[in-house]
Structure 1
């Protein structure tokens, strides 16, 4: 049996040494020291459970070490920060946002060892089980155990919404994949593959608001500022993102063409925290967001009115002082008061500014415009984005689909002559 020997120190403290005969009476004496008696007791029990032998995976003086420990292993958070710093395809604000995600959310990732003990995650020891446990923590949050249970529930960490979880998991996937692709290779597989993520439609309330034409008209009627009304009409009429529409310049317009259009070449971006300016002009959200948006005759008339006498580099949509619109000002001073007024008069929805983009798509689908054409108009990088976000609206065409099927099967198919000709 293993025993514990207390060894006092000159400073008044003590260490606790676990001693045993390796393998039994005929073995050699082995020992391991600990700073506290509880740790020594736990280790003694492990030695005895392993037949008076060193516990599997235990390295003298270090403790449990995973069998697959990599010589180039580093803490996950350090590796993640280095990965983000090395990115060349993101702007400064996006890089800051990634670092914030690492600090606030990746710090929750831990690795559960084979003995059931949780230790800090590294880029090499992270497993699929660890990632799944982290996703559950993000999804469920952490209630405050000291809350009194009355009224509003208190949280140490509020549950994350499904889209945020998917975005964070996507960043983690890329970080781990870079370890798989690195030289020397730090991992052979990506432990983020196969993670079951929460559905985007998990909530009972739909995140997007789709306005009928009369519903939008009720909101627009309450926007008293003509310039603000022009911008709202443009957003719902083109499906442009806010940052694209408010960055549009006179030189981007082709109003005399056979098919008048607006050329999307830039968008407003959030500047680095601490910068003197909160926003700056940069490229659109994705490569395919650079696009031409076809315009209706009514939109052309509006643009001619708004841009008359302006220089090519002037913004098309301008606030009261002549500068570009800022989202917060438009939302708080123009949009929100109009929505509240419309709701007081019976509007059953509370649309956001971005819901004008969703509403534009709903109107196109109702007009039987195919999803691939909508993808191009919106500037989605992938058709899958369009299908995932708006595919359910195609149900509005069910009557046409049923009619087409019925028409197709109503015409009898030609039949081969089945008569057998005998000699």
Structure 2
């Protein structure tokens, strides 16, 4: 129970202080001061009614204070859908993915007022603390109250959280840039996100040359083997490699150009489930240099085809589908290699990771790898593969030693060994 203490000021007047333990026994002491006993008694009753908590809407030293409203404010979910529905430059599948994230993950967003009262989130009232609480809730997950062993919401991976936070940041930024503005700043700026490299060794699988050769030898279909060799030899994404056409090959430059990629149609859309569209990003449009062996394989696959025909097709001349290749070609080959001693279980996408590992082992700099992979930012390349560059420590030490030696000689400084 809260209590009231009367204290005398130096001028002879009195104040009345309400004291209580926040949340009851075990909580921290809280106080609020009043100039009259009647006001203190009313506040004490409110604290007791709300379980030894600050009354919702009450701000210390100010009383009940309503947060200012903003003209044009609306629920966060409504603004988010409004933003996504007006986006240009994205395909309908991506728009559907954004809508799904909003429905599944933004609905748990809440705003905590200064008084501690929890209210529905709007585009104007959310704060940096609200965003951080939302991120932490995704990281921790939510247990099923009826089944302690189950989950209402499973903990999200750092990458998933980062993707959702990126979408939220774009949505909030649109409110900052609205006319008139609904916010003065982006509440997502400065959010501390989980490290995306946590568990990276479990998520990525890097194959040695001999390990990949074991898998390749178990792929019986030559069409599938060509595609696997191409993926590990170029680092291309699955959707890019399987969308390559004869006209993309430059025989003179010994290179291929990436102009398109397979896209999945949005649910409910009339027509085929997959279609050819632009690559993932602007920098995904790129030219990839090829070896003589890769050019020889392409010439063999180009024979008798028209410019618009696909370079990599199934034995029946159809376009490859990831699920089909995975189940019927890749998994059997990997399992056969494991039975003969392969210590790893790589995914198809690990062929892209393996390609990077091979390039780094040959001292290829990360900016060149970024361009070859089609990463939009060097940060992506460094975050994902920078830990592999430690193999260059010897070269770095030698370079620093040479530079410092030259500096010492030019300065007339005697080196101490």
TM-score range (shorter-chain normalised) is 0.7 to 0.9
Deviations 1:317-339 (A, max 9, x none): 00122111000100111111111
Q: Structure 1's 391 and 24: CA in aligned 2 closer, same or farther, altered over 3 A? A: closer
- 2:205 aligns with 209
Q: 1:265: which partner in 2?
A: 259
1:307-386 correspondence runs (5 A): 307-386=302-381
Q: Which residue of 2 aligns with 1:101?
A: 101
CA root-mean-square deviation: 2.8
Indicate the residue corresponding to 1:391 in structure 2.
Answer: 386
Deviates more, 1:335-344 or 1:219-228: 335-344
Q: What secondary structure is seen at the aligned counterpart in 2 of 1:330?
A: helix
Offset, 1:359: 0.7
C-alpha contact (below 8 Å) 1:46/1:55 kept by paired residues: no
Which position in structure 2 is the counterpart of 1:284? Answer: 279
Equivalent-residue separation in structure 1 for 2:219 and 2:130 (angstroms) = 51
CA shift, 1:55, in A, is 5.0
Displacement of 1:408:
4.5
Distance apart, 1:56 and its partner CA: 1.5
The corresponding residue for 2:146 is: 146
Separation (CA, whole Å) in 1 of partners of 2:37 and 2:203: 70
Query: Structure 2 vs 1, CA of residues 417 and 267 (structure 1 numbering), >3 Å: closer, same or farther?
Result: closer
How far apart in 1 are the matches of 2:116 and 2:163?
Answer: 29
Aligned pairs for 1:245-264 (under 5 A) are 245-255=241-251, 257=252, 259-264=253-258
Alignment of 1:142-181 (within 5 A): 142-147=142-147, 153-181=149-177
Note the alpha carbon deviations across 1:52-92, whole angstroms, 9 max, x for none. xx9512xxxxxxx42x2212110000000000001002110
Q: CA deviation at 1:203?
A: 2.8
Matched, 1:196 2:204: no
Q: What per-residue deviation string (whole Å, max 9, x for no partner) do you get for residues 358-400 of structure 1?
A: 1111111111111111111111111121111111111111222
Question: 1:414 aligned to 2:410?
Answer: yes
Question: In the superposition, relative to structure 1, how do residues 404 and 96 fare at CA in structure 2: closer, same or farther (>3 Å)?
Answer: same
Q: Kindly indicate whether the alpha-carbon contact (under 8 Å) linking 2:204 and 2:353 is maintained by their aligned counterparts in 1.
A: yes
1:263-313 Cα offsets, whole Å, 9 max, x none, are 110000111112331111000011111111111100011011111011111
Specify every segment of 5 or more residues in structure 2 that has no aligned partner in the other structure, as ranges.
Answer: 1-34, 40-45
Displacement, 1:340?
A: 1.5
CA-to-partner distance for each residue in 1:382-421, whole Å, 9 max, x for gaps? 1121111111111111222233334445565134599xxx
Aligned to 1:61: none
Which residue of the other structure, out of 270, 274, 283, is the alignment partner of 2:268? 274
On the 8 A contact 2:75/2:123 being kept in 1, the answer is: yes
- In 2 relative to 1, CA 124–409 (structure 1 residues): closer, same or farther, beyond 3 Å? closer
Gaps of 5+ in 1: 1-22, 28-37, 58-64, 419-423
Runs of 4+ in 1 over 6 A off after TM superposition: 23-27
Contact 2:260 2:277 in 1 (8 A): yes
1:101-131 CA-to-partner distances (Å, cap 9, x unmatched) read 0000000100112332211100011011111
